[in-house]
Structure 1
């Protein structure tokens, strides 16, 4: 698909804003502050996104799209929790995870536009990860993964968080072995 220059520029700006927000958070930053940080004008952001809220909504959608793409790739390999954990805990993803959790928390508080990501941020992941007939197990796995990622994003305690992940993986394995 050939993109028009305007769509291409919008995509470039969105990627730059996502990277900026991943590195420095969203917070209460104005449209002018975001524009300055990515080397453009607030008018250009308004032209491409309409408003600060629409820009932030595009950021939230892009972060979720990136995470879903990663999960889809890992799931295509028939991966279980251990492989997903290995993939998602990579240090180069930490900034995006921090941004995801910032947006998620703001959505949970009812803040627009972030609340539009809920409950889809849970439902889409569950639809990809649910074991046949075990929605509770899929939700538990998602909750543990997100909890560990939040812990990792907040503490950078790779060893401690990885040890907890290994323990959960052992629990899953013991459960699977006992049900055979």
Structure 2
């Protein structure tokens, strides 16, 4: 992947430009969700968006910026679906129940691409570390929002970090080994830990 930096982002100066940028990003994210990160390029993205790579360079700073923004978009969609699953149903659901209900969404459509992004960040941290750092920034507010409202902020942060790290481990295991039984066993342990955390 070669980076073509333009420093433009002139589109950010107008509502019309931002609307066009969002439309392009939606189309590129859709394509990325279908075909993954391997061999991603501006030309491939332009074809998916029905435009030229020069138009993309008008709206984005280059290949890596576009890739990062598309990954962020896909992750935001995943978080939205996961939160909908977690917050649906009775209002008095436990944190453990909410986390359990998120799992099918986390391993659903587009999950493999987001797992690829984390792998890319580990493989070449110099260029792609922000793909991993941004995951924490995106997921933590959602997980914090699921914690009981009467918990102190420090406790919410500790539990949210535990959930995030554990689910990441399960996702890696899911992607690399496919050991559903092992993941289920670990998941049950996480659920029990959350149930104990919620006990008065």
TM-score of the superposition, structure 2-length normalised? 0.65
Q: 1:66 aligns with which of 56, 73, 77?
A: 77
Residues 57-113 of structure 1: CA distance to partner in whole angstroms, max 9, x if unpaired? 21133234334444655469676243233234238x63432222222222233142x
Tell me whether 159-168 or 14-23 shows the greater mean CA deviation.
Answer: 159-168
Tell me whether 15-24 or 120-129 shows the greater mean CA deviation.
Answer: 120-129
Superposition RMSD in Å = 3.3
The alpha-carbon deviation at position 29 of structure 1 amounts to: 2.3
Alignment CA distance shift 1:147-1:89 (3 Å): farther
Instruction: In structure 1, list runs of 5 or more residues that go unmatched.
Output: none
2:118 paired with 1:104:
yes
Residues 102-143 of structure 1: CA distance to partner in whole angstroms, max 9, x if unpaired? 22222233142x322443422553455356333443322211
The corresponding residue for 1:129 is 143
Alignment CA distance shift 1:60-1:147 (3 Å): same
Q: How many residues of Structure 1 are paired with residues of Structure 2 in the alignment?
A: 173
Matches within 5 A, 1:1-180: 3-4=15-16, 6-70=17-81, 73=84, 74=86, 80-90=95-105, 94-108=108-122, 109-112=124-127, 114-130=128-144, 132=152, 133-134=154-155, 135-154=157-176, 161-173=183-195, 175-176=196-197, 180=200
3-state secondary structure, aligned to 1:94 = coil
Residues 83 and 102 in structure 2, CA contact (< 8 A), matched pair in contact too: no
Runs of 4+ aligned residues of structure 1 deviating over 6 Å after TM superposition are none
